[in-house]
Structure 1
Amino acid sequence: MFWKIVVVLFSVFVFSTAKSSIRRNQSAYSDEPQLIFAHVIHRHGDRNPIRSYPNDPWKDEEQFWEEGFGQLTNIGINQEYELGTYLRKRYASLLGDGGYSNDNVYIQSTDVDRTLNSAQAVAAGLFPPENDQIWNADLLWQPIPIHTIPKEMDHVLYAGRPCSRYQRAMRKHLQSLEYTTLMAKHKQLFDYLQENAGIQIHSLDDVDILYNTLWIEQLKEKSLPFWTDEVFLPGSDFEMLAYLNFRLATNTTEMARLTVGFLIRDILDRFSSKIESTLLPNRSLHIYSAHDSTIANFLNAIGLFELHNPPYASSLHIELYKLNADHYMQIFYRNSSDENLQPLEIPLCGQNCSLEMFRSIYSEIIPTETFEEECELPFYLEILEGSNICISNEWFVSIMCFVVMLPIMIIVLWRVSSSKRGNIALENDNNNMKYL
């Protein structure tokens, strides 16, 4: 009897050990990917027009735009709050107990009123206070830090820090055949807008600002002037040109590198640190509160932007997953209230893209040096740019070659001329002529 009990106990021990080992192996090698980090870039919510135009019947800011030009509205606050509740559900696995912790979440905003306010509304929806975080039973809200720096110093999110190389690249693009042909093609439209709106149209940015003002006034159910009936239509050239402006800032590889490239590098470097377990603090969620142009620039730089205006409270989700010993990233674009997002097809990389492959594909738009080094122009170009002279590197090399060769050519010609004159003197030596 004793030996039977021993055998049974031994069998139970062996079976339990084997079952535990199987569970460990299953957890080490799983077919289920694990989300370990997420970056979210979102646009601010509904706002008033940035500015009016001279002939605008609704240009009185105090009378018609209570919050002020460019400011977030109550509708916008609610849109961002709802975005926060969506993020809370989407990233429940990253938030632990659901409470806010500086060691787990970081919220960054451009230094603009509407994005700062939007970030606060997102944070309110994302982190409603619970238990000991409730400091006032009548106000279920808690303060969450929103980080920002002045626009003129921000080269990562706002891209407002002056960059000589970018400014030169933009000037070259605006002088390109592609751009000048586009502007010439639509001159009649520009003349019509100038005459009726009372503003000067010199660029796509001018077109976009006017179009956006009219769009918001229509959205707010304000009647538009009769002249807009001719041009302010869905699918019109006016609309198309306004949307084209979202491509302008990143329309060349160099321009993309010097605008959104620093943001892309910021995200990838943080992903790499997460994989290497060197991210301090070891956060899981980083939120950027920004603009429609921020989303458009990111998508356009990686070849995924389709002409449109990214809606209020739209969001880009760049997520890092771990599958066994491997890691990959996915990108999602939420441009509506849809909660069932599908990963975008990253060009040449697919839906699941490793960091190494992504860096390789987009190496030309990812800066490798500091902002100062990337933006610095060669000395000779700094001088020429200061004189408002735009000259290509090829032309400069040609000019320098000419400058260097000119003295040599003069010396050679002088020697040849001297040689000929000497021969003439020798030939006339019998006549007692001497060449000196």
Structure 2
Amino acid sequence: MILTMLMFVSCEARQLWERAPEDGKLEGKVVQVHVVHGSGHAEPPACYPGDPHARAAVWKHGPGELTQHGRRQGFHFGENLRSRYLNLLPKERTYKYVKATSAKTTRYQMTSSVILAGLLSPKGDDIWSTVPWQPAVVNTDDILAKPKCDRLEQLQKELKYEIDSEQLYYYVSVNAKTSVKDPKEMLEIFTCLETQKQAGLALPAWTRGFFYQMKREAAKTFRYDNEVSRLEVGRILDTITKFNFSDKDNRINLYCTDSVTVGALMAALKLNQTESPNFLSAFVVEIRELEGWLHAQLWYRSGPNDELARMDWPDCGARCPLVKLRALLDPLIPKNWQKECALDQHKNNSANIMHLTLFLLTFLFVYVATASCNRIYEFMNDMKTRNKRSKKTLV
């Protein structure tokens, strides 16, 4: 099967990305890359009650599983990475310089595998058979698996979204025969429709004239405050924005997760997008060295057919010194993620604040009451003194 897929992909004439710009004056030299990316095209569940494509013939692998189209997308993404970072990898034993990490779900691990197949095409002594492929390890990591965080769940339930068109939500709810109340629920419907569209299925008639409105509204999902960002993607930001001196041979680091996480990274930096991340969206951090100093560049693409676009780091520009970047991101990086996720911790903090407030109010009341009593006492003494003086005067 691998041979068939590789032969099929190799026949597709697709232009690859240009090599990463490098020089000794401005860009510097790429020394390490971190790529957080979504999975390839995957089979959706039924989008909504009465979905006409829920059992279409193109769905052969089961809900949530990587499709043939998704495998080709992943392989081509790997080819693009190899083309862009050709200077970063040696001609042989390339697998030693690439570290792939994935969430534990099957489609993410399979996406990582096909990306590595495109990225690590064997050369020279690495060629071991007629199959243009070499084995490579895919690791798993809990920070990509969305482990349970009670505080994050509470904050997400309390999120309030900005909604521009109540009419759009009503229209989608009526036609989809399911309640759609906010951008997050709109994102679920839109993602499912986009998945069907990429599979070559016709969009339902009711979406005509509204599909791109739904697309823009779904993108509002990725706008929230620092605490949500810190708990959702803070640990990932911590990992991908520092140069690992102890493990510098890992020149290309890949992290396969869902597209929501890619959108959350953009939201953490307040880089609001007009469309939500699609399949194989990518958040790319390039660590570069220029005259002995390290700086970071940020690149992004929203979907499988997009080029990488350079982004500015907030308050730091396109080429941000690594030390400054770490300082700017400090509020988004949790010091103790598990402790911050515990609701008891936040209840205790709230209780402590309440106790302190009560103490201060009590102190203020006692202080005011004491001061008032002293003023009254002084006033009474003053009156007594005046009365005595008046009596002496009369005598």
Scaled by the length of structure 2, what TM-score is found? 0.76
Give secondary structure in 2 for the equivalent of 1:329. strand
Kindly report which structure 2 residues correspond to 1:337-352, keeping only aligned pairs within 5 A, or say none: 343-352=310-319
Deviation string 1:183-224 (CA, Å, 9 cap, x unpaired) is 5x6544434333332223344322211122223333434344
Partner of 1:49: 44
Q: 1:224 & 1:97 partners in 2: Cα distance?
A: 45
Alpha carbons of structure 1 residues 220 and 85: separation in structure 2 relative to 1, 3 Å: closer
Partner of 2:8: none
Give secondary structure in 2 for the equivalent of 1:241. helix
Q: CA deviation at 1:318?
A: 0.7
Alpha carbons of structure 1 residues 53 and 337: separation in structure 2 relative to 1, 3 Å: closer
Structure possessing the higher radius of gyration over alpha carbons:
1
Counterpart residue identity of residue 218, structure 1: K
Partner of 1:37: 32
Deviation string 1:386-436 (CA, Å, 9 cap, x unpaired) is xxxxx798667556777x78xx99xx9xxxxxxxxxxxxxxxxxxxxxxxx
Q: 2:292 & 2:248 partners in 1: Cα distance?
A: 22
Partner of 2:106: 113
Partner of 2:291: 324
Q: CA deviation at 1:298?
A: 1.4
Q: CA deviation at 1:351?
A: 1.4
In structure 2, list runs of 5 or more residues that go unmatched.
1-23, 371-395
Q: 1:215 & 1:232 partners in 2: Cα distance?
A: 13
Aligned residue pairs: how many?
346
Residue 173 of structure 2 is aligned to residue 173 of structure 1: no
Counterpart residue identity of residue 161, structure 1: P
Q: 1:114 & 1:396 partners in 2: Cα distance?
A: 50
Alpha carbons of structure 1 residues 219 and 320: separation in structure 2 relative to 1, 3 Å: closer
Partner of 1:9: none
Give secondary structure in 1 for the equivalent of 2:155. helix
Partner of 1:140: 132
Give secondary structure in 1 for the equivalent of 2:210. coil
Alpha carbons of structure 1 residues 353 and 215: separation in structure 2 relative to 1, 3 Å: same
Given that residues 92 and 125 in structure 2 are in contact (C-alpha distance below 8 angstroms), is that contact kept between their aligned partners in structure 1? no
Given that residues 241 and 296 in structure 2 are in contact (C-alpha distance below 8 angstroms), is that contact kept between their aligned partners in structure 1? no
Partner of 2:239: 266
Deviation string 1:15-71 (CA, Å, 9 cap, x unpaired) is xxxxxxxxxxxxxxx54722211111222222232443112122226x451122222
Given that residues 47 and 73 in structure 1 are in contact (C-alpha distance below 8 angstroms), is that contact kept between their aligned partners in structure 2? yes
Q: 1:321 & 1:281 partners in 2: Cα distance?
A: 13
Residue 280 of structure 2 is aligned to residue 313 of structure 1: yes
Q: CA deviation at 1:81?
A: 1.0
Residue 121 of structure 2 is aligned to residue 128 of structure 1: yes
Work out the percentage of aligned pairs sharing the same amino acid.
Answer: 26
Q: 1:345 & 1:380 partners in 2: Cα distance?
A: 34
Given that residues 215 and 275 in structure 2 are in contact (C-alpha distance below 8 angstroms), is that contact kept between their aligned partners in structure 1? no
Partner of 1:370: 336
Q: 2:140 & 2:278 partners in 1: Cα distance?
A: 23
Deviation string 1:237-258 (CA, Å, 9 cap, x unpaired) is x33221212x14xx10111111
Q: CA deviation at 1:283?
A: 2.1
Given that residues 38 and 281 in structure 2 are in contact (C-alpha distance below 8 angstroms), is that contact kept between their aligned partners in structure 1? yes
Given that residues 100 and 138 in structure 2 are in contact (C-alpha distance below 8 angstroms), is that contact kept between their aligned partners in structure 1? yes
Counterpart residue identity of residue 141, structure 1: W
Give secondary structure in 2 for the equivalent of 1:123. helix
Q: 1:130 & 1:56 partners in 2: Cα distance?
A: 47
Q: CA deviation at 1:133?
A: 2.8
Single out whichever of 139-148 and 63-72 deviates more from structure 2: 63-72
Scaled by the length of structure 1, what TM-score is found? 0.69
Q: 2:80 & 2:174 partners in 1: Cα distance?
A: 45
Kindly report which structure 2 residues correspond to 1:23-422, keeping only aligned pairs within 5 A, or say none: 31=25, 33-60=28-55, 63-102=57-96, 104-137=97-130, 139-149=131-141, 154=142, 156-158=143-145, 160-174=146-160, 179=161, 182=162, 186-229=165-208, 232-234=210-212, 236=213, 238-245=214-221, 247-248=222-223, 251-269=224-242, 271=243, 273-274=244-245, 279-280=246-247, 282-335=249-302, 343-367=310-334, 369-379=335-345, 381=347, 398=357
Q: 2:251 & 2:294 partners in 1: Cα distance?
A: 15
Q: CA deviation at 1:280?
A: 3.2
Q: 2:82 & 2:64 partners in 1: Cα distance?
A: 28
Given that residues 92 and 122 in structure 2 are in contact (C-alpha distance below 8 angstroms), is that contact kept between their aligned partners in structure 1? no
Counterpart residue identity of residue 157, structure 1: L
Give secondary structure in 1 for the equivalent of 2:211. coil
Q: 1:371 & 1:164 partners in 2: Cα distance?
A: 11
Given that residues 241 and 285 in structure 2 are in contact (C-alpha distance below 8 angstroms), is that contact kept between their aligned partners in structure 1? no
Give secondary structure in 2 for the equivalent of 1:38. strand
Counterpart residue identity of residue 327, structure 1: L
In structure 1, list runs of 5 or more residues that go unmatched.
1-29, 385-390, 413-436
Counterpart residue identity of residue 171, structure 1: K
Counterpart residue identity of residue 338, structure 2: E
Q: CA deviation at 1:380?
A: 7.0
Q: CA deviation at 1:359?
A: 1.6
